[in-house]
């Protein structure tokens, strides 16, 4: 058990080092030698945990996907109101981006999209899983009468991505100077009004 725990910790260190390199210098800078130097081990030791740079990128995407999934689970557990759950998911996504500023670079990098079809498929599967889980929350809101039913839950979920992705890109370009929290809070107010079930005024 002790050996397993040590392996997991080392793998996490490697993933975090990769994220730091990407955040500071881009995906191309993420080499085995540089990762090893940041972790404080020899390059050959990296291969005890990951077979290649691609395997490290896959692990990074897996970590991001797991955090996104946990964000939805935690938001639903903490809120009975489906709209509040969705807002909580949004703000948790923002915190994730602020914690790991390399995420936009990785998600939009040519190395993921063009140079490796396996990574592209993994990213697609990750996004689909996130949208599917979020869609279930939206459908619950429609059943509760909180979210309008004349819009497909799947379409609302895809629209949700647009609340933070452009802001995340600008946040990254500005090296954190752009107020992503304020921007996302503003877009949420408009989005939530658009998807809420209209209330029928009582007849006189």
Token pair belonging to 86? 């969705």
Cα(65)–Cα(112) distance, rounded to whole angstroms?
15
Kindly list the structural domains of the chain, giving each domain's residue range(s) and its CATH number in brackets, ordered by start: 57-195 (1.10.357.10)
Helix (H) or strand (E) holding 204: none
What residues contact 132, with CB distance under 8 A and at least 6 apart? none
Give the torsion through C-alpha atoms of 107, 134, 156, 97, to 10 deg: -30
**pLDDT tens-digit map of 2-48:** 344 478 889 999 999 998 888 777 778 889 999 999 999 999 999 99
> What is the rounded average pLDDT for all residues in the chain?
86
Nearest to 30 by CA among 20, 43, 21: 21
β partners of residue 196: 147
Q: Of 176, 179, 75, nearest to 134 (Cα)?
A: 75
- What are 104-149's pLDDT values in tens digits? 777 767 666 666 778 888 888 888 999 999 999 999 999 999 999 9
- pTM of the full structure: 0.82
**Contact 127/114 with Cβ under 8 angstroms?**
no
Pair of tokens at residue 121: 């498929």
């Amino acid at each position: 058990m002790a050996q397993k725990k040590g392996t997991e910790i080392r793998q996490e260190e490697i993933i975090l080092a990769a994220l730091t390199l990407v955040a500071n210098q881009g995906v191309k800078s993420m080499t085995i030698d540089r990762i090893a130097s940041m972790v404080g081990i020899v390059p050959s030791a990296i291969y005890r945990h990951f077979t290649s740079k691609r395997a490290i990128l896959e692990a990074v995407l897996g970590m991001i996907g797991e955090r996104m999934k946990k964000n939805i689970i935690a938001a639903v557990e903490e809120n009975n109101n489906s709209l509040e759950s969705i807002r909580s998911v949004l703000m948790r996504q923002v915190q994730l981006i602020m914690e790991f500023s390399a995420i936009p670079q990785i998600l939009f990098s040519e190395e993921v999209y063009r140079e490796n079809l396996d990574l592209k498929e993994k990213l697609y599967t990750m996004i689909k899983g996130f949208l599917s889980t979020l869609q279930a929350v939206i459908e619950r809101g429609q059943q509760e009468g909180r979210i309008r039913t004349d819009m497909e839950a799947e379409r609302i979920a895809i629209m949700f991505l647009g609340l933070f992705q452009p802001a995340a890109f600008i946040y990254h370009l500005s090296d954190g100077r752009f107020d992503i929290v304020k921007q996302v809070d503003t877009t949420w107010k408009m989005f939530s009004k658009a998807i809420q079930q209209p209330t029928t005024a009582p007849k006189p």
